[in-house]
Structure 1
Amino acid sequence: MSIASRKEDHIRHALAQEEQVTSLQSDVTFVHHSFPGVAVKDVDLSVNLFDHHFPLPFYINGMTGGSDQSFVVNDRLSQVAAKTGLAMASGSMSAALKSAEHRDSYEIIRKNHPNGFLMANLGPNYTVSEAKMAIELINANALQIHVNATQELVMPEGDRDFTHWLSDISQLVDGLDVPIIVKEVGFGMSRETIHQLYQIGVQYVDVSGQGGTNFARIENLRRKHLFSTDWERWGISTPLSLLEAASLTKKPTILASGGISTPFDVVKSLALGAKAVGVSGHWLKSVMTTDVAETIAEVKSWEAELKEAFALLGAKSVKDLTFTDIIFSPEIINWAKQRQLPYQNFNQRRQTKEKFEWL
């Protein structure tokens, strides 16, 4: 099967997946305080990353490229990004390195978003020279390296040897002069993984937890004989991945994605320690089931809702969200206890900041 056919399969199955109630939504709850003390008009949603200033704390994460349908997706998404000022990542650019046939499905992103912050995207097993080609193709400001061992194992034509992935990433870190973000593809990250990446000099990590587009399910549907092993349940959720990261004193800058389908998912991820949040499947469905104009309107609606949520939580900035009080479900606490993660540090953070003295 050609790469283009595989990319078309990915889009078709991703669009068919229904959004589920995620761990972010069911297992993470803010403590309500009746006097938040913040006006909506005073909320600043901006973040500073990669030596750039971004007006919003979320971005369009990597999805696709390398086929006719991919061109349509990236054309529409990049129009949304250009109109709203969102940063945007391309999908895996392996197809562009292997053939010139569908390079326009990537190039359209920079054409539509000439002044935007763009991220190229490759797997870990590419050389520095190949990575430079991918970066140059869209004049990217940064490179995402996706790690997807689970997806590869379920994919009929996927990789089966992960021996050199970490050393390959290390060579890319040493050989490139743009920021590098290492991201999972919806299976989450442990603190051990994050520590390994920190040790080789990776400065940005997207934990990309379980709960969004399920690539194990997508690849299983592409198989002639379905796996008996339930790889669709494999992985670590986004909040658990962020708790894993929170247990480390030295770590890369943490980004989050995986199951982000509402503004409040963004807020919870930021409150759990992410510096910015990637959204993919939700925007894919929006631009392909409605249109560019309606998706732009939804982005603006997200911006308004984020400001309202920040104000209700007493936060004027993203940093202020890290002083909000969070209660976790028994499922989260059970994992955290067994992994010795600092879940207790989240439930009285406002008290610590404002130095309440109880009678």
Structure 2
Amino acid sequence: MDQRHAHRKDEHVFIAEKQFSTQSNNGLDQIRILPNNLPEIAVEEVDYSTSIAGKLSAVPFFINAMSGGSPSTRKLNKKLALAANETGIAMATGSQSIAVKFPDASTSFQVVRESMPNGFVIGNLGAGNNLHAAKEAIKMISADALEIHLNAVQEIIMPEGERSFYWQDQIAEIAAELEIPVIVKEVGFGISPATLEELKKINIKYVDLSGRGGTNFARIENQRLHSENFNCLDNFGMNIAECLIASRPFENDFSFTASGGIRDALDIVKCLCLGADNVGISGLFLHTLLKEDIAGLIKQIESLKHQVKAIMTILGCHNVDELRKVSLILSDSLLNFKNQLI
């Protein structure tokens, strides 16, 4: 295993946890849901099943991409996968690019499939990888879907990062040639309407908007950066509330995942109300796992499942489709953002 790359993976996890805050800047606090005082529904009538990458999912949230590529992150991936398997939710791995280049790092990803043999496992590669690499990543973990992450901001700050970003043709080829769904995702800076227009042209159907507000790879890389200060990008991009509002004109073109600083069940429900089909959670689950181990993470996931269903009940919503019709009030700031969109 390449020790330099493995060390970087460990650094990312360490700094992400160090920077974790129970308070998020995801923008969802700027959205209010009007109450339904006569819900006329019972909890047992609520069905919150949805889809992830076009596949049926019994739960509307999942463990999103985090780790892998080193011995210590192998242990994290195993624990995350065991929790996902126990609770019946999907899980995405961290970037497998390191294992495609250095096959002895593949065990840190293979442990996910080993720990959830019948679960929904999502692979992950950075944009810029070719079709062969995508097939290798899928084979490595028998992936049910593949995330391709767009991380130009992170790469440009990272001392050892890429400096050339010709990605679109390879993404188009991968999506056209693979037999499993491809999800194009950001890594915390939000996907803009202009980018959605480009993804639409190459027939991408599944997008993780991944807004600012959670794990901040600009700040992570800035903390690793020794030769240059790139703090000007610490707050770059759109939060997930802005992303979901900006993506509304594309609701018939894509199935959206919402991610970026999700902290509780109400955040999940608000994302579903705003048009997301599912919600990805990374930092919150990593923090809980590191502090409370597998048992604590399982407890948290089960609590979120219960609370999401409870909130849907008090809103009088039988399913995710009915959440789309819930009345929402936007803050002046969000309304101004919406009105300025071109």
The TM-score by the shorter chain falls in which range? Answer: over 0.9
8 Å CA contact 1:24–1:265 kept in 2: the answer is no
Distance (Å, rounded) in 2 between the aligned partners of 1:54 and 1:83: 15
1:290 alignment partner, SS class: helix
1:326 aligns with 2:298: no
| Residue aligning to 2:36 | 33
Distance (Å, rounded) in 2 between the aligned partners of 1:242 and 1:72: 34
Distance (Å, rounded) in 2 between the aligned partners of 1:250 and 1:47: 16
Distance (Å, rounded) in 1 between the aligned partners of 2:262 and 2:108: 25
From the superposition, tell whether residues 4 and 272 of structure 1 become closer, same or farther in structure 2 (CA, over 3 Å). Answer: same
Structure 1: gaps (5+ residues): 341-359
| Residue aligning to 1:46 | 49
2:221 alignment partner, SS class: helix
TM-fit CA distance, 1:105? 0.6
TM-fit CA distance, 1:75? 0.7
1:123 aligns with 2:126: yes
1:268-318 CA deviation, whole Å, 9 max, x = no partner? 000000000100111111111111112111111111101110011111111
Match of 1:80 among 79, 83, 86: 83
Distance (Å, rounded) in 2 between the aligned partners of 1:250 and 1:54: 20
| Residue aligning to 2:140 | 137
Distance (Å, rounded) in 2 between the aligned partners of 1:213 and 1:23: 11
Matched residue pairs, number? 339
What amino acid is the match of 1:54? S
Distance (Å, rounded) in 2 between the aligned partners of 1:144 and 1:249: 20
| Residue aligning to 1:354 | none
TM-fit CA distance, 1:51? 4.8
1:84-115 CA deviation, whole Å, 9 max, x = no partner? 11111110001101112321110100000000
8 Å CA contact 1:59–1:87 kept in 2: the answer is yes
| Residue aligning to 1:114 | 117
Distance (Å, rounded) in 2 between the aligned partners of 1:42 and 1:143: 33
Larger Rg: 1
1:207 aligns with 2:224: no
8 Å CA contact 1:207–1:238 kept in 2: the answer is yes
2:35 alignment partner, SS class: coil
8 Å CA contact 1:66–1:93 kept in 2: the answer is yes
Aligned positions of 1:121-270 closer than 5 A? 121-162=124-165, 164-248=166-250, 250-270=252-272
8 Å CA contact 1:194–1:251 kept in 2: the answer is no
Distance (Å, rounded) in 1 between the aligned partners of 2:62 and 2:28: 20
| Residue aligning to 1:348 | none
8 Å CA contact 2:26–2:214 kept in 1: the answer is no
From the superposition, tell whether residues 101 and 230 of structure 1 become closer, same or farther in structure 2 (CA, over 3 Å). Answer: same
1:27-69 CA deviation, whole Å, 9 max, x = no partner? 1110123112221121111113445322110011011110112
Distance (Å, rounded) in 1 between the aligned partners of 2:5 and 2:274: 37
TM-fit CA distance, 1:333? 1.1
TM-fit CA distance, 1:249? 5.9
8 Å CA contact 2:28–2:241 kept in 1: the answer is no
8 Å CA contact 2:188–2:217 kept in 1: the answer is yes
Distance (Å, rounded) in 1 between the aligned partners of 2:51 and 2:28: 26
Aligned positions of 1:287-302 closer than 5 A? 287-302=289-304
Match of 2:13 among 11, 14, 18: 11
Distance (Å, rounded) in 2 between the aligned partners of 1:304 and 1:336: 32
| Residue aligning to 2:313 | 311
Match of 1:273 among 269, 272, 275: 275
What amino acid is the match of 1:118? V
From the superposition, tell whether residues 226 and 261 of structure 1 become closer, same or farther in structure 2 (CA, over 3 Å). Answer: farther
- Higher mean alpha-carbon deviation, 80-89 vs 164-173, is at 164-173
| Residue aligning to 2:105 | 102
| Residue aligning to 1:91 | 94
8 Å CA contact 1:124–1:146 kept in 2: the answer is yes
Distance (Å, rounded) in 2 between the aligned partners of 1:24 and 1:267: 14
TM-fit CA distance, 1:339? 0.8
Percentage of matched positions with identical amino acids:
37
8 Å CA contact 1:206–1:257 kept in 2: the answer is yes
